[in-house]
């Protein structure tokens, strides 16, 4: 018999397996997320950027950071990894979808970085810069690949007992994600046909799977993935999670929230940079600079890009609201494994034995031969005697009927 908030498994042994899987996945995600934070802290010695400047760069796109401190895409992904790790350690069922999402993205990032490091000596020299940490850097990405693969296996095995339950909120979020995927795909196609990407279709595909390719496209070194790479990864996620949300899959809720939150952060940071940006162009002396809304929308293509950014920002906020509402609705309905946005892990207690003749499952007939007990006897009430007039000073005889 299933209880609200439980994860698949039968009895104590079945409950222990998912609990162990969630704790192990959470620990692995936290280890990797904290390792990225450690690299950022360590790399401050190689940059003139201070801690306060870096904190400002988290929200202000005008602040330039060196590749050693990673990119906003990596910052957002690291925050999602740490959040999913904490939820998994707390054994929240919502952690499953979020962990599957970040695990898949980290797996793609690590595989691409390792492919570039092992296939190109020039890329390896640029990447490592003779800092004496070659082995540590390669081990970090190998660890990321192993962690992501293990998390995916653990979370795919730890299925909830909640059946797919399509609803208006989940379906609405799925439709929005699919439309965002089509919009992003259209911009990718536009970039490939124009001069924005500086790559043909073949080089673009190779760039998505090998960080060292192409070596002569003038692409700035981006540790942890370029904008083009994350654009393709998140566009794919929009289609996959949109379809799963339409089907009412439980894992699509927290995975979709994680995706929308990452995109929302990147878009809001970009729009804040546009708001604080300058229309006069970068200064010859260098320094912090970002285009303004007016400069970014100087032509028709720029105006369409800005409109797409605003539309995606609003759509991501809507997706978060709809998927959280879908999770709350499933939790109120008492669905197993639906306690992702409220509530935790329900204990596996043994139900009380039913009375003889009753079925353990609701909706099934009683066992053959069962005779229900007779109703309880009514209390004895004495019959009233003949009418007696009240004593003197009473209320008199009853009124005539």
The answer to whether the beta carbons of residues 340 and 190 sit under 8 Å apart is no
Q: Enter the pTM of the model.
A: 0.77
Q: Give every CB contact of residue 81 below 8 A, 6+ residues apart in sequence.
A: 29, 32, 33, 36, 102, 106
pLDDT at 43 > cutoff 60: yes
Place of tokens 């919502």: 94
Using CA atoms, how far apart are residues 383 and 151, in angstroms rounded to an integer?
78
Q: Any idea which of 67-76, 162-171, 280-289, 343-352 has the lowest mean pLDDT?
A: 343-352
- Rounded to a whole number of angstroms, the CA Rg of the chain reads 31
Confidence band for 256, pLDDT divided at 50, 70 and 90 = very high
Q: For 128-184, how does the pLDDT look when each residue is reduced to its tens digit (9 = 90+)?
A: 776 677 888 889 999 999 999 999 999 998 876 655 666 889 899 999 999 999 999
pLDDT band at 197 (very low <50, low <70, confident <90, very high): low
Ramachandran angles phi, psi of 208, nearest 5°: -70, -25
Report which DSSP code applies to 212. Answer: T
Residue 18 pLDDT more than 90?
A: no
Contact indicator for 91, 23 with CB cutoff of 8 Å: yes
Which sequence spans correspond to the domains of the chain?
A: 11-281+288-332
Residue predicted with more confidence, 372 or 60: 60
83 vs 30: CA distance, rounded Å: 8
300/123 Cα distance (integer angstroms): 37
**Block residue for tokens 């197993």:** 336
DSSP 8-state symbol, 68: G
């Amino acid at each position: 018999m299933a209880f609200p908030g439980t994860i698949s498994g039968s009895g104590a042994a079945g409950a222990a397996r998912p609990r162990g899987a969630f704790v192990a996945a959470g620990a692995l995600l936290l280890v990797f997320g904290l390792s990225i934070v450690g690299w950022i802290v360590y790399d401050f010695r190689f940059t003139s950027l201070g801690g306060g400047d870096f904190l400002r760069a988290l929200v202000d796109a005008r602040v330039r950071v060196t590749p050693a401190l990673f990119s906003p895409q990596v910052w957002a992904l690291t925050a999602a990894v740490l959040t999913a790790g904490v939820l998994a350690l707390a054994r929240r069922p919502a952690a499953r979808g979020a962990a599957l999402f970040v695990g898949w993205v980290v797996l793609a990032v690590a595989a691409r970085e390792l492919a570039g490091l092992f296939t190109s000596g020039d890329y390896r020299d640029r990447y490592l810069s003779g800092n004496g940490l070659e082995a540590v850097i390669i081990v970090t990405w190998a660890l990321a690949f192993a962690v992501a693969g293990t998390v995916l296996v653990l979370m795919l095995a730890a299925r909830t007992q909640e059946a797919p339950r399509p609803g208006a909120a989940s379906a609405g979020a799925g439709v929005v994600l699919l439309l965002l995927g089509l919009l992003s795909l259209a911009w990718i196609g536009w970039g490939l046909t124009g001069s924005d990407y500086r790559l043909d279709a073949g080089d673009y595909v190779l760039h998505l799977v090998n960080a060292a390719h192409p070596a002569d496209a003038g692409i700035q070194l981006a540790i942890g993935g370029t904008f083009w790479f994350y654009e393709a990864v998140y566009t794919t996620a929009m289609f996959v999670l949109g379809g799963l949300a339409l089907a009412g899959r439980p894992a699509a809720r927290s995975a979709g929230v994680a995706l929308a939150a990452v995109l929302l952060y990147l878009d809001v940071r970009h729009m804040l940079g546009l708001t604080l940006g300058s229309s006069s162009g970068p200064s010859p002396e260098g320094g912090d600079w970002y285009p303004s809304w007016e400069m970014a929308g100087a032509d028709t293509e720029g105006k369409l890009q800005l409109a797409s950014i605003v539309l995606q920002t609003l759509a991501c906020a809507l997706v978060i609201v709809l998927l959280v509402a879908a999770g709350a609705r499933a939790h109120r309905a008492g669905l197993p494994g639906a306690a992702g946005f409220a509530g935790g892990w329900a204990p596996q207690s043994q139900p009380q034995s039913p009375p003889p003749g009753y079925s353990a499952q609701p909706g099934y007939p009683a066992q053959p031969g069962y005779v229900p007990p007779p109703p309880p006897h009514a209390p004895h009430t004495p019959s009233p005697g003949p009418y007696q007039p009240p004593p003197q000073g009473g209320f008199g005889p009853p009124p005539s009927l």
